[in-house]
């Protein structure tokens, strides 16, 4: 009944999560009301919020000296808030410019602080330059990067991240489109942030994981709701949170645990991405432009041999139950977002369809 939905976000959620939410939609936990209708300060909801945070800490092995904050405004308001929380106007900060999302973060930060671009630039780069070409500033307050560029499907490799950590500066990462796709060592980052609408839950919630010593440094004119302290000191409930999104995110974290944790899901993610890239590379029909070692596990972009075929590809894939494959307008072509909730059968079905389409149009 449900199609495979390859949307980049809001994206597919695990079916088990949707069914659980449906089954308790009208009467959550025998409270005889929906979780959506419940005060966020009620003991029942506070217990849900605590469990949700505990499960996330468990799933990502978040050390005790980190706060987990649940915030409004999406990943965009979070990247706007980084300079407000960590710098004064005359400070310098280092940013990687590896695609649309890191570039938006740069544009925003440049309004409030001096930004040095470490590497990258240009429109939709298909590769992150080698560390030998990186240009760090001596006095940067932090280094910012987007670990996975959603539009192109360009992802930092482990080796590159290690080279960034080796600078010994606080590293702030936008992980909106690859959080929880594999195990990471949170303790290497000063802060990690992500919008929920890909691997966490529905839109309208964003998560910030921040080391405690980075709190308490916000500029005096930082808006209250952008100040990380506001969330840290009020259990992320300074004002009314998106209670429904928190609840669903909690179900997603439970689902990850039920699947065997991030490590188990990572093995499936690697397989899903590898088989799709293998097919694309060997098809003689489709092509992917991203440097092979930096290809994303989550967003797989590909082009057809002629743009004239795009409309037919999209119409026929939709008819076959494979939705939202159109690439971002900034990059063109197609994009299959295959986040944690995309079952392996979805990728198999996509490859089958792509094979048939290639045969019919070669």
**Positions in the binding site for ligand PMP (CB under 6 A):** 9, 74-76, 101, 146, 150, 174, 176-177, 195, 206
Report yes or no: 60 and 185 within 8 Å, Cβ to Cβ: no
239 is in an annotated binding site: yes
Contact partners, residue 166, CB within 8 Å, separation at least 6 = none
Q: Which residue is nearest to ligand PMP (CB)?
A: 74
Supply the minimum distance, in Å, between the C-beta of residue 44 and ligand PMP.
28
360 is in an annotated binding site: no
Supply the minimum distance, in Å, between the C-beta of residue 99 and ligand PMP.
8
174 is in an annotated binding site: yes
Q: Which is nearer to ligand PMP, 51 or 107 (CB)?
A: 107
Q: Which is nearer to ligand PMP, 176 or 243 (CB)?
A: 176
Q: Which is nearer to ligand PMP, 156 or 353 (CB)?
A: 156
Report yes or no: 98 and 177 within 8 Å, Cβ to Cβ: no
88 is in an annotated binding site: no
90 is in an annotated binding site: no
Determine the Cα–Cα distance for residues 207 and 320; give it in Å rounded to an integer.
35
Determine the Cα–Cα distance for residues 325 and 315; give it in Å rounded to an integer.
10
Burial string for 150-167 (b: 16+ CB within 10 Å, else e) reads: bbbbbbbeeebbeebeee
List the one residue out of 344, 347, 325, 346 whose CA is nearest residue 336: 325
Report yes or no: 227 and 25 within 8 Å, Cβ to Cβ: no
Q: Which is nearer to ligand PMP, 80 or 87 (CB)?
A: 80
Task: Tell me the H-state helices in 293-336.
Answer: 310-319
Supply the minimum distance, in Å, between the C-beta of residue 342 and ligand PMP.
16
101 has catalytic annotation: yes
A 10 A CB-CB count for 190 gives 18
Residue 136 zone, left/alpha/beta (φ > 0; ψ -120 to 50; rest): beta
Strand partners of residue 96: 119
Q: Which is nearer to ligand PMP, 148 or 227 (CB)?
A: 148
Strand partners of residue 144: 95, 172
Which of 141, 198, 272, 326 is catalytic? The answer is 198
Which of 28, 55, 101, 134 is catalytic? The answer is 101
76 is in an annotated binding site: yes
Supply the minimum distance, in Å, between the C-beta of residue 72 and ligand PMP.
10
197 is in an annotated binding site: yes
- For residue 294, the 8-state DSSP code is G
Supply the minimum distance, in Å, between the C-beta of residue 178 and ligand PMP.
8
Contact partners, residue 108, CB within 8 Å, separation at least 6 = 76, 79, 80
Q: How many residues does the chain have?
A: 362
Supply the minimum distance, in Å, between the C-beta of residue 147 and ligand PMP.
8
A 10 A CB-CB count for 305 gives 14
> Which strand (E) or helix (H) includes residue 322?
strand 322-323
Q: Which is nearer to ligand PMP, 5 or 177 (CB)?
A: 177
150 is in an annotated binding site: yes
- Per the annotation, binding residues for pyridoxal 5'-phosphate are 75-76, 101, 150, 174, 197, 239-240
Annotated binding-site residues read 41, 75-76, 101, 150, 174, 197, 239-240
Q: Which residues are catalytic?
A: 101, 174, 198
């Amino acid at each position: 009944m449900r199609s495979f939905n390859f949307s980049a976000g809001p994206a597919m959620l695990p079916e088990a999560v949707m069914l659980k939410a449906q089954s308790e939609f009208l009467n959550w936990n025998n409270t005889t009301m929906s979780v959506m209708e419940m005060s966020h300060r009620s003991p029942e909801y506070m217990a849900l919020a605590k469990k949700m945070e505990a499960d996330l800490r468990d799933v990502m092995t978040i050390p005790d000296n980190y706060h987990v904050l649940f915030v409004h405004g999406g990943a965009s308001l979070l990247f706007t808030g980084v300079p407000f929380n960590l710098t004064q106007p005359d400070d310098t900060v280092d940013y990687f410019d590896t695609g649309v999302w890191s570039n938006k973060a740069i544009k925003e930060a440049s309004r409030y602080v001096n930004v040095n671009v470490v590497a990258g630039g240009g429109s939709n780069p298909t590769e992150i330059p080698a560390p030998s070409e990186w240009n760090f500033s001596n006095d940067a307050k932090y280094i910012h990067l987007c670990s996975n560029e959603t539009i192109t499907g360009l992802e930092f490799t482990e080796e590159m991240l290690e080279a960034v950590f080796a600078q010994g500066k606080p590293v702030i990462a936008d992980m909106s489109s690859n959080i929880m796709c594999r195990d990471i060592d949170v303790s290497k980052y000063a802060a990690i942030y992500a919008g929920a609408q890909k691997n966490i839950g529905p839109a309208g919630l964003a998560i910030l994981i921040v080391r405690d010593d980075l709190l308490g440094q916000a500029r005096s004119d930082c808006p209250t709701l952008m100040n990380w302290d506001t969330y840290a000191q009020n259990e992320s409930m300074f004002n009314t949170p998106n209670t429904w999104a928190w609840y669903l995110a909690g179900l997603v974290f439970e689902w990850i645990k039920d699947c065997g944790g991030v490590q188990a899901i990572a093995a499936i993610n690697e397989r899903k991405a590898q088989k799709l890239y293998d097919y694309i590379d060997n098809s003689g029909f489709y092509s992917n432009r991203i440097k092979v070692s930096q290809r994303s596990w989550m967003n797989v972009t590909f082009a057809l041999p002629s743009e004239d075929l795009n409309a037919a590809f999209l119409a026929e894939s939709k008819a076959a139950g494979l939705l939202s494959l159109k690439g971002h307008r900034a990059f063109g072509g197609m994009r299959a977002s295959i986040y944690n909730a995309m079952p392996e059968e979805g990728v198999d079905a996509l490859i089958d369809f792509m094979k048939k389409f290639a045969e019919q149009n070669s």
